[in-house]
Structures are given as structure tokens and as C-alpha cells.
């Protein structure tokens, strides 16, 4: 993929969108960790904590990019991303009551960094897949999306609540990214190259299957007596 070509910009948009779709819990953690600090210190805690989380996420994504070059791990990453796409639609958001508010600047920063690292596996796998193993895309995508996560996630979550179809669009993007990762597994490329129609059919079936399974789960959870979802993650 050539730098700054139409395909590059499309992939970058894909990376940013996926990171935003999966960012709800990260915004909640940031808010909870800094909630007890004085307003004058809160901004610094959020800035430092997010900066540390961004560095860790870039390093983790680079490691995943390297690992995806190992035989069969692209297939494993694709399967994990299918599960993540399903969870996006099906799983009830966590309340994060176990996130301890920091009593000082560096305690809050530490909480933000550790919690983000623990929760960031889905983002790392999704971004690595969407970036098509392109390091520049990974770094640019995270540099663009992380500030939006910090200052705009609340608005983005409200937007999703008003327009629920956005979450389905996110699941479609993740489903496509996951199935495309699987078809690019080096051991499977000869088969899909020889049968391009089967590659297209596979991508369509996986993406549709993720959306259908997630929709069914959400529908059953939202019935009377079922657990109603409170947030998106």
C-alpha cells in the first residue's frame, strides 16, 4: 500500500473508526480514575495517563503486527476479531465499579495506564488487522483517535445511543476486517487466490454471521426479564 494513496486514506479512516467504536470503556476508565482530583490537576492526569496509554498501545500493536507475520497467527487474529465484533453487539457493558479513583496525580495516571493496557487487547488486534500490517497507519490512526477518545468519547457514546445503527456499522467493519485477515493468512492465500469468488463469499458470510448473531443476542437480552445493555464497548 502506497503512502497517502486513496487505499491508504481509506484504511486510516477504518483504523480511526474501529478505535472510536471500541473506545467507550476507555473513556469511562479515564473519568473514574481522575474523578477525585482537583479540576486543575484532572486535566494533567488525563493528559499524562492518556499519553502513557498511547505509548503502550503503539508498542503492543507493533508487537502484534510482528506476530501476525508468524504462520497461522493471522488466522488466529482474525478469529479473535470475529469474537470481538460479536461482543461489540452482544455483550453487556461493564460498570467498572472496581476502578479505584486516584487520590493524587500520579496515582490517577498509573490507574489510567494500567487499566487501559488491561482493556486494550481488542483495540490492538482490531487496529493491527485494519492497518493491514502497515506501521505508519497504526501510529497515525492512534495519534488521531486517542485525543478524540479523551475529549470526545462522551459525545461519541451519546451519538451511538441516538443512532444505534452506528454500532452495527462498527460490527460490519470489524467483521470485514476479521474475515479479510483470515483470507490473507499466507497458508490460505493460494486457495483464495485460486477461488476469488469463494473469498468474497467467505467475507460476506462471516460479516453477516457476526451481525446476525449479535443482533439475536441483543434482542434476547432486551426482552422483558433479560439483562438490558447499558453501554457499548
What is the percent of the chain where pLDDT is above 90? 16
pLDDT at 210: 93
Rounded to whole angstroms, the Cα distance separating 166 from 137 reads: 23
Task: In whole angstroms, give the CA distance from residue 137 to residue 145.
Answer: 12
Q: How confident is the model over 9-30, as pLDDT tens digits?
A: 888 888 888 877 776 666 666 7
Domain coordinates in residue numbering, the chain: 6-221
Give tens-digit pLDDT for 123-156. 788 888 888 778 888 888 878 877 776 665 556 6
What pTM value is reported for the model? 0.74
Residue 230: pLDDT band (50, 70, 90) is very low
pLDDT reported for residue 229: 45
Helix 73-90 to helix 165-183 angle (10° resolution) is 170
Percent of the chain with pLDDT over 70: 77
The mean predicted confidence, pLDDT, of the chain is: 79
Q: CA–CA separation, 209 vs 212, rounded Å?
A: 5
| Positive or negative torsion for Cα 180, 185, 189, 191 | negative
- Alpha-carbon distances of 198 from 132, 174, 191, 209, rounded to whole Å: 21, 20, 9, 16
* Of 7, 17, 124, residue with least CA distance to 62: 124
Over 80: is that where the pLDDT of 1 sits? no
pLDDT for 165-182, tens place per residue?
A: 888 888 898 899 999 999
Higher pLDDT, 115 or 106: 106
pLDDT at residue 94 is higher than 60: no
Amino acid at each position: 500500500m502506497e503512502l497517502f494513496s486513496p487505499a491508504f486514506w481509506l484504511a486510516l479512516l477504518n483504523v480511526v473508526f474501529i478505535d472510536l467504536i471500541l473506545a467507550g470503556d476507555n473513556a469511562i476508565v479515564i473519568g473514574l480514575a481522575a474523578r477525585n482530583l482537583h479540576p486543575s490537576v484532572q486535566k494533567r492526569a488525563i493528559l499524562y495517563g492518556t499519553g502513557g496509554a498511547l505509548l503502550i498501545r503503539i508498542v503492543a500493536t507493533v508487537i502484534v503486527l510482528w506476530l501476525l507475520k508468524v504462520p497461522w497467527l493471522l488466522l488466529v487474529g482474525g478469529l479473535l476479531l470475529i469474537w470481538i465484533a460479536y461482543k461489540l453487539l452482544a455483550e453487556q457493558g461493564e460498570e467498572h465499579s472496581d476502578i479505584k479513583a486516584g487520590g493524587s496525580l500520579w496515582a490517577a495516571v498509573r490507574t489510567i495506564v494500567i487499566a487501559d493496557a488491561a482493556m486494550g487487547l481488542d483495540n490492538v488486534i482490531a487496529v493491527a488487522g485494519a492497518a493491514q500490517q502497515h506501521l505508519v497507519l497504526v501510529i497515525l490512526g492512534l495519534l488521531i483517535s486517542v485525543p478524540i477518545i479523551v475529549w470526545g468519547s462522551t459525545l461519541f457514546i451519546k451519538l451511538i445511543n441516538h443512532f444505534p445503527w452506528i454500532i452495527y456499522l462498527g460490527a460490519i467493519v470489524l467483521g470485514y476486517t476479521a474475515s479479510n485477515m483470515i483470507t490473507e493468512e499466507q497458508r490460505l492465500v493460494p486457495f483464495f487466490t485460486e477461488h476469488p469468488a469463494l473469498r468474497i463469499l467467505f467475507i460476506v458470510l462471516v460479516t453477516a454471521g457476526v451481525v446476525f448473531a449479535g443482533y439475536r443476542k441483543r434482542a434476547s437480552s432486551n426482552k422483558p426479564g433479560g439483562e438490558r445493555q447499558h453501554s457499548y464497548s
